[in-house]
Amino acid sequence: EPTTLAEKIRSMIDALPSPTPRNSRTFPKPMPPARDAEGRPIPPPGAIPIKDKKLIAKLYNPNVMNAEGSESDSVWSILESFGARSHDGSTGGDNSSTWSDDSIMMYSPLFPTEESLVEIAASHIVPASNPPAPLRPQALWQRKWPWWKKPAVAPADGSTDKEKSREGNQPAAPATPIRVWIPSTTKISVQVMWWGYRLYLPPPVLAILSQEQLEATKRAATITAALTWLFTHIPISLLPPPVQPALLLLQKIVPYLGYIGTFISWSWSTIKGYDVAGYGVILSATWLLPVALLPGTW
């Protein structure tokens, strides 16, 4: 059940130790991974921070995470709907702020040069009119078991109707506007959030990486080099404090980018199949398994 899985992912991410800034400005060089008998890349030691094999299998499965073949929202969408937790345990989205800066998106070229810079993505603000009400426990049960209905109980003194009347007369709190990031149509885009990160590969990038003369090892090296440059050139100290912990987590996977690039290259035929509308492909991963980038339709 996607909602149950998303809840488990959130609780486990909340339990992860807080990342700390690096003492050194240099990063370990990503190395090509070992492979099994079928050529599939093997995750290096330390690349998987959790031990639950059943959960790992789900986090590696795009059918599960995308809720493919189901009418339910994907696990990714449910995680986004939760919002980031603040330090006091509540969720983000305080109405006193203009918007919640708990995510950020950046652009990077596929072939960076000495003159290249990491760019903050374009965005626009969308008024969050009529925000959905939080799900009560019975609403969660009804989502899991649609046939379940709470028996109606008539109030003895009509107090329930009075309470409903008072609630209906209270003005609704103003909704917090939402920042919507706009992926690049020519460059790699990476979006970093409290629950994980996403790569957006637009059609021009897909076309280059799909060239027939491009060998799998060359494709893996190209992806690894592009991600290494991007992850190591993010000016974390200049970005909003709410997103800095997630960016530190992103930089902690730099030593495993050799595996990630090889895994993407090894899965390339499957990844290309998700570009059904010609807009490109999204690759998503959680901080519980940051080396498992799963494809989705843009």
The string of pLDDT tens digits covering residues 247-269 is: 999 999 999 999 999 999 999 99
Contact in structure between 102 and 242 (CB atoms under 8 Å): yes
One digit per residue, the tens of pLDDT, for the chain of length 298 reads 899 999 999 999 999 888 888 777 789 899 999 999 988 999 998 899 899 999 999 999 999 999 988 888 999 999 998 866 544 444 444 433 333 467 899 999 999 999 999 999 999 988 865 544 443 333 333 333 333 333 444 455 555 555 555 555 555 556 667 888 999 999 999 999 999 999 999 999 999 999 988 999 999 999 999 999 999 999 998 888 889 999 999 999 999 999 999 999 999 999 999 999 999 999 999 999 999 999 999 8
The string of pLDDT tens digits covering residues 134-154 is: 433 333 333 333 333 334 444
Partners of 107 in beta bridges: 119, 189
**DSSP labels, 138-200:** HHHHHHH-TT--PPP---SSSHHHHHHHHHHHSPPPPPPPEEEEE--SSSEEEEE-SSEEEEE
Contact in structure between 254 and 44 (CB atoms under 8 Å): no
Q: What is the pLDDT of residue 129?
A: 59
Q: What is the pLDDT of residue 72?
A: 87
Q: What is the pLDDT of residue 213?
A: 87
Q: What is the pLDDT of residue 171?
A: 59
Gap between the Cα atoms of 289 and 184, Å rounded: 25
Count the Cβ atoms, other than its own, within 10 Å of residue 246: 21
**DSSP 8-class letter at 35:** B
Q: What is the pLDDT of residue 175?
A: 65
Contact in structure between 81 and 67 (CB atoms under 8 Å): no
**DSSP 8-class letter at 277:** S
Q: What is the pLDDT of residue 137?
A: 34
Amino acid (one-letter) located at 241: P
Instruction: Extract the tokens encoding 144.
Output: 């899991």
CB-count exposure of residue 97 (10 Å: 0-12, 13-18, 19+): exposed
**DSSP 8-class letter at 237:** G
Contact in structure between 124 and 204 (CB atoms under 8 Å): no
Q: What is the pLDDT of residue 126?
A: 85
